[in-house]
Amino acid sequence: MAGDDAQNIERRAVTRKGIVSLVAVVVVGGVAMGLFSQFQRKMVFPGPQGVSTALLARVATDVGATELQIPTEDGETLYGWHRASPGASPHRVLLYFHGNASSVLGQLDLQDRLLADGWDFVEIHYRGYPGSTGIASEVGVHRDAMAVWNWVTGELGVPPNRVVIHGRSLGGGVAVQLASKVSPGALVLESTFTSAVDLAREHFAWLPVGAVLEHRFMTRDFAGKVKCPILVAHGSADSIIDVSHGRELAKLFETDEYIEAPRTDHNDALFEGVYADRYIEFLDASVPRGQPSQP
């Protein structure tokens, strides 16, 4: 009997130790996963450096941009710009989605070129970026995209087929999903990955990124789901998102046009010179310029 009691006590002790160990593993694992989730978010959505709301307001005044505050369906407010092309009627809008470390300040020369060609320019900052509320996530930025689309086609009153959606880098992953749900005049994917999973595997081949990556942005999965003219553009010397991604997207989406700019890295201006001309030609062919407004 004494032996049985001792065994029972030992079993209970072992069981308690096992439960304590399991709880410890769960707690430590939960903390680790929480930290990893935060790390992922900072890696995927680092945001721009040195961009304050004061700077945004000052530059907006300098370039004649109207600052926007656009509400989302889940209660966030998005900062953005609308730059109107003088005298252009009916409106043609280039709706731009920036890369993960960029802002409305990142493509001022392109904005000027578009305005000169009779295009309005609209861009928002994703949630958590300067001037916008909330915390960035894949689900969240897709909601942001729909919010600004609804603003352009609703409050601004622009017909969907007179809006071109342009996404650069991570913004291409945002743009392509939006384009699959609405009916834009055209889609531009600039320096975009086939998916964030594919890109992460290339940079972190020793990690099981396919199993743990939360923000996946499966651009390639939308091939065949976008029913409008498509332009894919990529720099041949892109050291962040290899040009193979652009080439693969061009094949998957059976694009109307593919631009590969030689000696162009990820953060170089791609649409310059002859490539800017080809870009504008694609836009104008997709959404022709309307008649000038009557006095």
In 21-58, which positions are buried (b, 16+ CB within 10 angstroms) versus exposed (e)?
A: eeeeeeeeeeeeeeeeeeebbeebbebbeebeeeebee
Query: What burial class does residue 230 get, using C-beta atoms within 10 Å of its C-beta: 0-12 exposed, 13-18 middle, 19+ buried?
Result: buried
Fill in the amino acid letter for 193: F
pLDDT tens for the chain, 295 residues: list them. 555 554 454 444 444 444 333 333 333 333 334 445 677 888 899 999 999 999 999 999 999 999 999 999 999 999 999 999 987 677 899 999 999 999 999 999 999 999 999 999 999 999 999 999 999 999 999 999 999 999 999 999 999 999 999 999 999 999 999 999 999 999 999 999 999 999 988 988 877 777 778 889 999 999 999 999 999 999 999 999 999 999 999 999 999 999 999 999 999 999 999 999 999 999 999 999 874 433 3
**Is residue 162 within 8 Å of 156, Cβ to Cβ?**
no
Three-state secondary-structure class, residue 162: helix
Nearest CA to 104 out of 143, 140, 57, 72 is that of 57
**Is residue 289 within 8 Å of 118, Cβ to Cβ?**
yes
Whether the bond between 71 and the residue before it is cis, its omega within 30 degrees of 0, is no
53-286: CATH number: 3.40.50.1820
Tokens representing 147 are 């919010």
Fill in the amino acid letter for 81: W
Fill in the amino acid letter for 105: L
Inter-axis angle of helices 273-286 and 108-116, nearest 10: 50
pLDDT in tens, 172-194: 999 999 999 999 999 999 999 99
* Cα–Cα distance, 129 to 20 (Å, whole number): 42
103: enclosing H helix or E strand: none
* Cα–Cα distance, 143 to 178 (Å, whole number): 9
**Is residue 70 within 8 Å of 124, Cβ to Cβ?**
yes
pLDDT at 19: 38
In 254-269, which positions are buried (b, 16+ CB within 10 angstroms) versus exposed (e)?
A: ebbbbbbbeebebbee
| Residue 78 bridge partners (DSSP) | 70
Strand blocks (E) in 174-276: 186-190, 230-235, 257-261
Location of structure tokens 């861009």: 123
